[in-house]
């Protein structure tokens, strides 16, 4: 077969690391969720990768809080590469996103802007314009 590469979103993929000091990657899980055509449940497709194997399976569930999950189409194949097939691009040692250190500043800015917008709205509501009649000084 052909060797193919794909960039996947971290929203649909995560890596399981070992608990030792090296934190070696043990498995990667790639998944997607789809609403079934009748709109009554969800189908989730999972692919689990290790350095030795790839497992694929599908789950189906009804759109109810207490519904049972049904596993279907389980398949296992050897990993022909014999190496861990997912590469994590890490921005920094702490695995913190580029904007996460600034979240408190962003929140403070949003609060200040929304407060000033609210103040302007309050003042707009407070103005009363009187025109076209006389008011006595009594």
What are the CB-based long-range contacts (under 8 Å, 24+) for 11-15? Answer: 13/86, 15/86, 15/88
- Tens of pLDDT, residues 106-123: 888 888 888 776 666 666
- Tens of pLDDT, residues 28-62: 999 999 988 887 888 999 999 999 999 999 998 88
- Tens of pLDDT, residues 123-136: 666 666 777 777 77
Backbone angles phi, psi at 54, to 5 degrees: -130, 125
Tokens of 111: 């609060």
Tokens of 43: 């189908």
- Tens of pLDDT, residues 79-108: 988 899 999 888 888 878 778 888 899 888
């Amino acid at each position: 077969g052909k060797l193919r590469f794909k960039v996947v979103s971290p929203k649909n993929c995560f890596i399981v690391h070992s608990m030792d000091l090296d934190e070696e990657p043990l498995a990667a899980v790639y998944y997607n969720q789809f609403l079934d055509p009748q709109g009554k449940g969800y189908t989730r497709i999972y692919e689990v990768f290790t350095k030795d194997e790839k497992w694929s399976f599908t789950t189906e569930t009804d759109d109810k809080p207490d519904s049972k999950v049904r596993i279907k189409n389980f398949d296992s194949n050897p990993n022909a590469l014999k190496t861990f097939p997912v590469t994590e691009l890490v921005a920094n040692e702490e695995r913190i996103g580029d904007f996460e250190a600034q979240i408190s500043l962003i929140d403070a800015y949003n609060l200040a802007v929304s407060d000033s917008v609210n103040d302007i709205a309050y003042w707009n509501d407070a103005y009363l314009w009187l025109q076209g009649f006389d008011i006595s000084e009594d």
